[in-house]
């Protein structure tokens, strides 16, 4: 009889667990930060004149242009764009971009919170945060620039996907596409400096890290995709990996929303992987109709969008409500003390919020559960994970089922 999780999967999960425990015991985060943070902080300060020089060209047009450009490559944009990519018939591209986005988000945010390097100081630098998303981004640490990192990885993988699917593309078109991608990345980096959100060292760090992640992903993406769609014990393995990833996260010097972003995208990948693994041969194989073909015209795709978007928003709301009810009851039944920093009113309050911030950010996440005498745990993390897992599952399982019912 086949084991629940195979040997290599157990070895991988055990390796992650061992790293979490070892890094917690030897306080790796603090040691790395004490070495790297002063050097990065000096580069941030020394880069201030360059930022001010760029901001001398301040104009309302550039404010709107770079703010809009930042929104186009933000996490909320990709969160809205990726469902449409799944429903357009490009399932492999959507899967890979989702997993790559999650990997970039985790890696980038880990480095941000390990180094805990400041953003440019304001004043003298003018920081322009035109959206709620930008205001939340400004609460994170600076190095590396997530916008630069994500843009390099996702645009680079998109080019690879297009060139792989259309091997006969004229070389001149390939050069134009590559040039456009480079220009786009350059404008994103310039925009982050113009808006005062990042210094030169942040952009350079995002550039280097992005190229490294892209090069790595291009080596492993086929193995990852084959495992997701055809592997054994995928769901159980990914649930265990998602759980461990919540603890395999460094402690920032001061509280930031980076861990919340990581939790949300961990939930997204869990829902996507679980749903695709169960329904690949029904809705996500390579022969499904693709948009702008005779099997899936623009009116049908518009119908999918009109049905799909409200459905996933409803599932997100219901998942959150269900998790808010189930998790506190489950914790109470198991004798686990919990509190809420905002989702569950009965478990929240001024003292609870204060403790939430202190506990969430005061030490490595795994040792807080097993190696410290902690009074309570923040149930919001589990709620957020299940909420986004439910949303992502509906994108690849529930909504395609509705499409088949409506002949879309």
What is the gyration radius of the CA atoms in the chain, in angstroms? 22
Distance CA 219, CA 136 (A): 33
Distance CA 76, CA 8 (A): 35
The one catalytic residue among 30, 59, 198, 281? 198
Has 198 been annotated as catalytic? Answer: yes
Q: Across-strand partners of 339?
A: 378
Has 285 been annotated as catalytic? Answer: no
Q: Kind of pairing, strands 377-378 and 338-339?
A: parallel
Distance CA 307, CA 300 (A): 11
Distance CA 392, CA 387 (A): 9
Angle at 368 between CA 29 and CA 356, to 5 degrees: 100
Instruction: Tell the burial category of 373 from Cβ atoms under 10 Å away from its Cβ (0-12, 13-18, 19+).
Output: exposed
Residue 385 tokens read as 């994970």
Angle at 215 between CA 203 and CA 39, to 5 degrees: 35
Q: Which residues touch 174 (CB under 8 Å, ≥6 apart)?
A: 163
In the chain, % helix, strand, coil (3-state, to 5) comes to 75, 0, 25
The one catalytic residue among 147, 221, 262, 284? 147
Residue 334 tokens read as 């198991």
Q: Please give the positions annotated as active site.
A: 147, 198
């Amino acid at each position: 009889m086949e084991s629940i999780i195979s040997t290599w999967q157990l070895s991988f999960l055990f390796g992650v667990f061992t790293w979490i425990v070892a890094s917690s015991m030897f306080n790796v985060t603090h040691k790395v930060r004490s070495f790297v943070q002063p050097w990065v902080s000096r580069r941030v300060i020394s880069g201030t004149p360059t930022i001010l020089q760029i901001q001398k060209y301040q104009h309302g047009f550039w404010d709107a242009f770079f703010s809009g450009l930042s929104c186009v490559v933000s996490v909320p944009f990709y969160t809205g764009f990726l469902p449409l990519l799944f429903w357009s018939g490009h399932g492999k591209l959507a899967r890979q971009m989702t997993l790559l986005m999650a990997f970039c988000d985790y890696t980038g945010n880990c480095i941000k919170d390990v180094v805990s390097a400041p953003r440019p100081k304001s004043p003298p630098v003018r920081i322009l945060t035109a959206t709620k998303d930008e205001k939340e981004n400004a609460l994170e640490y600076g190095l590396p620039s997530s916008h630069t990192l994500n843009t390099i990885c996702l645009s680079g993988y998109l080019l690879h996907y297009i060139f792989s699917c259309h091997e006969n593309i004229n070389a001149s078109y390939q050069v134009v596409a590559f040039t456009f991608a480079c220009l786009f990345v350059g404008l994103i980096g310039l925009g982050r400096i113009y808006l005062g959100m990042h210094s030169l060292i942040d952009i350079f760090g995002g550039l280097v890290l992005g190229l490294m992640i892209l090069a790595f992903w291009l080596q492993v993406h086929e193995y990852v995709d084959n495992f997701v769609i055809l592997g054994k014990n995928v769901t159980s393995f990914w649930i265990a990996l998602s759980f461990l990833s919540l603890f395999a996260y460094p402690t920032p010097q001061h509280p930031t929303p980076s861990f919340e972003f990581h939790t949300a995208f961990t939930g997204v990948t869990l829902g996507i992987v679980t749903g695709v693994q169960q329904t690949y041969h029904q809705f996500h194989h390579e022969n499904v109709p693709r948009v702008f073909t005779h099997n899936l015209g623009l009116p049908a795709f518009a119908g999918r969008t009109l049905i799909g978007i409200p459905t996933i928003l409803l599932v997100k709301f219901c998942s959150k409500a269900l998790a808010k009810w189930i998790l506190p009851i489950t914790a109470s039944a198991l004798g686990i003390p919990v509190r809420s920093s905002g989702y569950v009113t009965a478990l929240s309050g001024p003292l609870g919020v204060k403790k939430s911030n202190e506990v969430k950010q005061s030490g490595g996440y795994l040792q807080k559960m097993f190696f410290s005498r902690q009074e309570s745990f923040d149930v919001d993390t589990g709620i957020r994970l299940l909420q986004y897992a439910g949303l992502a599952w509906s994108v690849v399982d529930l909504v395609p089922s509705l499409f088949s019912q409506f002949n879309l």
